[in-house]
Structure 1
Amino acid sequence: MIEDNKKIMKTNTLILHTAALFLLPLQLIFSVFLLLRGHDEPGGGFIAGLVASGAFVLYLFAHGVASTRNILRVEPHDLLAMGLLLGLAAMFPGLLYGEPFLTAQWWEFTLAGSEIKLSTVLIFDIGVYFAVLGTILTIVMSLTEAEE
């Protein structure tokens, strides 16, 4: 029974390899779209992180853990830590302006003639994105390595 499961896990088709290579960038672009859209409409850091982790998990199933770590270039638990730090950093600017804790702050910048708005809400969403991505990838990679 265990041998049959290992054979199933090791047999990957050309279709799966090709689909994983094709879908990875598309899913990552869609996850960034969901992340940036989440302020005004449904979306945000959590669902965007799930979509991005789904992209990497599909790639992991097709190409293995080592290849996935190679394209990720960052350890998943480091993504988790960075997400938690960004989420924490987004909580305090309200206190610096004399407002209650967790009050959203907005800053406007001009870059190359276009106006860019940055907010603590976006920073918090990016933190959630990285935390979800790091958590899911840590779990799946650990389980896959334990299976091997």
Structure 2
Amino acid sequence: MTRRALIAEVFMRRLYPLLLIASLWILFRGHNAPGGGFIAGLVAVAASSGYALVFGAGPALRRLPLAPARLGGAGVFMALVSGLPALLQGEPFLTHQWITVSFGAVDLPLSTTMLFDLGVYLCVWGALGGYCLGLVGIIGEEA
């Protein structure tokens, strides 16, 4: 017989999306400061791990945007691609480039730094999230 922690289920259903929103806020807020992608990825891992502890590893895996290995691989790819514009400009790899896109009266500055941080975010979420969900899955099988 499996015991259900109803309060944990209700709490996690509401906490999971809040943690992901917080991770995205940290990601976008931190793109001008070091570490935005990494800490945001850790918050996303916390969301996935908490969900797995309450509902199991399978349901938590289904909530990820991609399988953990693909998510981590996509992140590494994005981080690598973020360094290519510098090479095309004759500068050292990962020298970040900035452009400004104008939407009428609004100017939006964009940087390869944001792509790099997004890559780090996805890599951390995929690698550490997959590891944590794997551990929860193993523990769940033994219980």
Same fold (TM over 0.5): yes
State the AA in 1 paired with 2:73.
A
Q: Which amino acid aligns with 2:123?
A: A
CA RMSD in angstroms comes to: 1.9
TM-score by length of 1: 0.85
Aligned equivalents of 1:83 and 1:68: distance in 2?
19
Separation in 1 of the partners of 2:124 and 2:6? 30
Task: For 1:31-70, list aligned pairs within 5 A.
Answer: 31-41=23-33, 43-70=35-62
Do residues 98 (structure 1) and 90 (structure 2) align?
A: yes
Report how far residue 57 of structure 1 moved.
Answer: 0.7
SS in structure 1 at match of 2:91: coil
Given that residues 41 and 124 in structure 2 are in contact (C-alpha distance below 8 angstroms), is that contact kept between their aligned partners in structure 1? yes
Say whether the 8 Å CA contact 1:34–1:43 is kept in structure 2: no
Residues in 1 aligned to 2:5 and 2:104: alpha-carbon distance in whole angstroms: 47
The CA deviation at 1:11 is 3.6
More moved, 81-90 vs 101-110: 101-110
Quick check: 2:76–2:123 contact (8 Å CA) kept in 1? yes
TM superposition score normalised by structure 2: 0.87
Gaps of 5+ in 2: none
User: Is the 8 Å Cα contact of residues 104 and 119 (structure 1) preserved in structure 2?
Assistant: yes
- The percent identity for this pair of structures is 39
Instruction: Work out whether residues 53 and 133 of structure 1, in 8 Å CA contact, stay in contact via their aligned partners in 2.
Output: yes
CA shift at 1:100, angstroms?
2.1
- Secondary structure of the 1:115 match is strand
**Residue from 95, 101, 104 that aligns with 1:109:** 101
Structure with the larger RCO, 1 or 2 (CA within 8 Å, 6+ apart): 2
Indicate the residue corresponding to 1:139 in structure 2.
131
More moved, 131-140 vs 31-40: 31-40
